[in-house]
Chains A and B, each alone.
Chain A
């Protein structure tokens, strides 16, 4: 973590000093991660692609206000979050519902080329894994947004409660509560669809 932060800060300094190309370092280091988080949040790959690009562009513009010493990813996520919230709002107004269930998009992440399956387990296992991922993603899409966000940031992005708190602006206690409720809701959705798979939580 130490070195990574230094790498970020070095790149940031270079960008601030006028070297636009140095931003590539940040894209390489955080692009996939932010894209992944956005994808799980909006559940739609195409939208996620756009939002992730937009997020990085906005990060570039706002880089001068990045607080050094803080985590770049957390900062970046906070920018992404605004995009995601707008997207949610847009969908609500368009569809009259909270959002598209994750995975409802045919081009969802389980689509062709979505996952680097090459090095994974055998074809059968891989298929089962994808199957499970699809189920989880669908279920996640039906979890309330704020809970879903907390779960995604925690379990997918591996952020600490404090980082989630910082990125989302809610107290740590609330973060914990949201993760708790989000996982419970997710489990409920999963159980509803596949009782035997998640029974007992194992």
Chain B
């Protein structure tokens, strides 16, 4: 890093807004650069002087004057836009009104792996994760679940979705995976490492078309090097992680999980914020397994939210919101779905928590948290809540889109959502259950859920073990 690079970063550092990775680099630079240290001191001093301006007291009568004017207003209390007062209205409305509704779901499991591996921080192809998830799910499906309930997590949703694709589809990815070698011995289907499949948007997914395409074709797509892959080489972490997941499943271990959904405020900045959140996790991660950037949402969450966004965007007037000049207040295009899968050490959880807690933006964005230390409970409540909230008619729709899949031990929830193809299912419709009051409550007033959620995750995990962390983001591309 040179001084030019350092300049604006110093500003961010002074403001506590520099991502951890950059911070370390900058601090190294500062250690050897007196001029930049001086610049930092100067900036701190100026900032302090502005802060010292303080706020003058309000003029006498200010408060009463405002209230009098309000009392004199003709209209009664301002009317809330339709849907606003529904149980989940606030949150949804928020999500919809936001130009970018970015939801991050962080999801923990404690693999309780003794011989912890390795690991280099590594970014996998953007596309991989989705497919990884699909393959994981497929694998899980393919193999007889040891214990259907155990390890059934968010990805069980994915499992269900993948179940929709039918057996051929499931077997394809699994088969492909098996061909590759896994970094370490693992139970059966060891996922494919080397040539990470591209998470090709499955055309049907959005429209809920059941068939993502012929298995062969799909497999081919998956093997094709991704156009939107990350620069980093696909690691073997993915397979190994999946293998770990599967082992957990096989052992019938129940993995504690916490899901957090972030809603980033609507603006071009949302994307950056999301990226920042992700980089945070990547920084801390022992390894990054996968990274998906799908054009369409094919996760259960994703679909629900996309629908919501589309629906609510009409209900929520843009005016008065976020300010005319502001980033919010425009209609919401279909969000993107991105999933990042990383593994961290449990003892780093605190670090992660601190980092997140430090980011006001992330805390602010964390409007929804679903905690279920039992993965299945978590997933169920989340899906139900979301589906119900989607609309009063959710029931019908949900019935059409949800299917019971063969009980899948689902890779221990290794992949919360990335079931690529989700279509209406050939299965029997599952009636959408009501969201638990608790969930509604949390969604309605989640305030610092990130910290809470992480704390819950930490409480449940052994500090010496490693954790599965999955970040699920829903958000549309920034309107840059």
Chain A residues with CB under 8 Å of chain B are: 1-3, 5-6, 9, 15-21, 23-24, 27-28, 31-33, 35-36, 39-40, 45, 49, 52-53, 56-58, 60-71, 74-75, 77-79, 81-82, 85, 109, 113-116, 129, 132-133, 136-137, 140, 151-152, 154-156, 160-163, 165-173, 175-177, 179-180, 183-184, 186-187, 190, 198, 200-202
Contact = CB atoms under 8 A, between A and B. Distances in A.
28 contacts: A2-B447, A16-B77, A16-B80, A31-B62, A31-B63, A53-B62, A63-B78, A64-B320, A68-B94, A69-B90, A69-B367, A78-B324, A81-B325, A82-B323, A156-B51, A160-B17, A160-B360, A161-B17, A161-B361, A166-B327, A172-B273, A175-B269, A179-B15, A180-B43, A198-B46, A200-B41, A201-B38, A202-B42
A107 B16 CA distance: 35
Nearest to A85: B325
A142 B50 CA distance: 14
A65 B317 contact: yes
Q: Top 5 closest A-B pairs, CB basis?
A: A78-B323, A201-B42, A62-B320, A162-B361, A68-B90
Contacts of A77: 323
Contacts of A63: 77-78, 320
Given A66-B321, A162-B265, 7 more contacts: A3-B447, A21-B67, A23-B67, A115-B57, A132-B52, A186-B46, A202-B45
A169 B50 contact: no
Given A133-B52, A162-B361, A166-B266, A198 B45 contact: yes
A53 B69 contact: yes
B425 to A, nearest CB: 32
A13 B49 CA distance: 38
A177 B15 CA distance: 12
A40 B52 CA distance: 12
B131 to A, nearest CB: 31
Nearest to B67: A24
Contact of A67 (B316, B319, B447, B480): B316
Given A20-B71, A62-B78, A78 B361 contact: no
Given A23-B70, A56-B66, A180-B7, A79 B55 contact: no
Nearest to B66: A56
Contacts of A170: 267-269, 327
A75 B325 contact: no
B58 interface: yes
Interface string B323-362: 1111110000000000000000000000000000001110
Given A2-B447, A6-B445, A173 B272 contact: yes
B55 A33 contact: yes
Secondary structure type dominating chain A contacts: helix
B319 to A, nearest CB: 6
Interface string B23-63: 00000000000000011011111110111111111110011
B2 interface: no
A75 B318 CA distance: 12
B474 interface: no
A68 B93 contact: yes
B478 interface: yes
B310 interface: no
B328 A166 contact: yes
B8 A167 contact: no
B295 to A, nearest CB: 22
Contact size class for B?
A: 35 or more
Contacts of A116: 57
A163 B326 contact: no
Contacts of B54: 36, 115, 133
A128 to B, nearest CB: 11
B66 A171 contact: no
B364 A163 contact: yes
B3 interface: no
Nearest to A175: B269
A167 B326 contact: yes
Given A31-B58, A60-B73, A161-B17, A176 B263 contact: no
Contact of A114 (B56, B91, B268, B318): B56
B158 interface: no
A161 B15 contact: yes
A156 B78 contact: no
Contacts of A115: 54, 56-57
Contact of A31 (B66, B89, B325, B365): B66
A180 B272 contact: no
Given A6-B445, A65-B316, A186-B50, A201 B8 contact: no
A64 B8 contact: no
B4 interface: no
B365 to A, nearest CB: 8
A163 B79 CA distance: 26
Given A35-B62, A60-B78, A198-B45, A70 B71 contact: no
B80 A171 contact: no
Nearest to B319: A65
Given A31-B62, A79-B320, A82-B324, A166 B265 contact: yes
A2 B45 contact: no
Contacts of B85: 16
B82 to A, nearest CB: 10
Given A166-B267, A171-B269, A78 B445 contact: no
Nearest to B90: A68
B78 A64 contact: yes
Interface string B272-293: 1100100000000000000000
Contacts of A56: 66, 70
Contacts of A31: 58, 62-63, 66
B114 interface: no
Given A65-B81, A198-B45, A179 B11 contact: yes
B448 interface: yes
B98 interface: yes
Nearest to B16: A160
B17 A151 contact: no
Contacts of A114: 56-57
Contacts of A156: 50-51, 53, 55
Contacts of A151: 50
